[in-house]
Amino acid sequence: MTPERTLVLVKPDGVQRLLAGRILARFEERGLRIVGLKLVQVDRALAERHYAVHRGKPFFEGLLDFITSAPLVAMALEGPNAIALVRSMVGATRPHEAAPGTIRGDYAVETAQNLVHASDGPETAAEELALWFEPSELLDYPRDIDRWVLAPGS
């Protein structure tokens, strides 16, 4: 199966609560590969482009204020069915609806600060990856990498 790429943001609350490493580890332990990773202080222009779909909604300004309030971790992940896999690992947007075992179910408390963003489909993932990463910032692994990478715990 051809690997798929997706964007995950560990939002300012996740970074401030020192959860970025734990969140990243969960994706790696599941078998997803990091193809891009950076710590970013988001400016308003990037925030507006990222949340453009919500422009005009009552919570739009709050989203912008929150995402620009402190650094976040942007990561590009790759693997089979990466978009759906990441979305299932992240859990429901509202933490009280997120299942235990999901990132939000285990760590998030309120909807406005729900720790992570994950692309919701192939087109969105492509657009968001291009917004957050230059092509030169994304790595390509050799297709036979599984042959020479040790399994976790080996």
Question: Which residue ranges make up each domain of the chain?
Answer: 4-140
Catalytic residue among 50, 54, 96, 117: 117
> pLDDT tens string for the chain (154 positions)?
788 999 999 999 999 999 999 999 999 999 999 999 999 999 999 999 999 999 999 999 999 999 999 999 999 999 999 999 999 999 999 999 999 999 999 999 988 899 999 999 999 999 999 999 999 999 998 766 665 555 555 5
Pick the CATH number of 4-140 from 3.30.565.10, 3.40.50.720, 3.30.70.20, 3.30.70.141: 3.30.70.141
CA 106, CA 121: separation in Å to the nearest integer?
24
Question: CA triplet 84, 93, 82: central angle to 5 degrees?
Answer: 15
Note the pTM of the prediction, 2 decimals.
0.90
pLDDT for position 152: 57
pLDDT for position 142: 75
CA 49, CA 70: separation in Å to the nearest integer?
18
DSSP assignments along 78-111, one per residue = EETTHHHHHHHHH--SSGGGSPTTSHHHHH--BT
Q: What's 136's DSSP letter? A: G
CA 36, CA 30: separation in Å to the nearest integer?
17
> Could you confirm whether 117 is annotated as catalytic?
yes
Closest CA to 12 of 62, 72, 92, 52: 72
Q: How many CA atoms lie within 13 A of 65 on its CB side?
A: 7
User: At 128, which amino acid appears?
Assistant: E
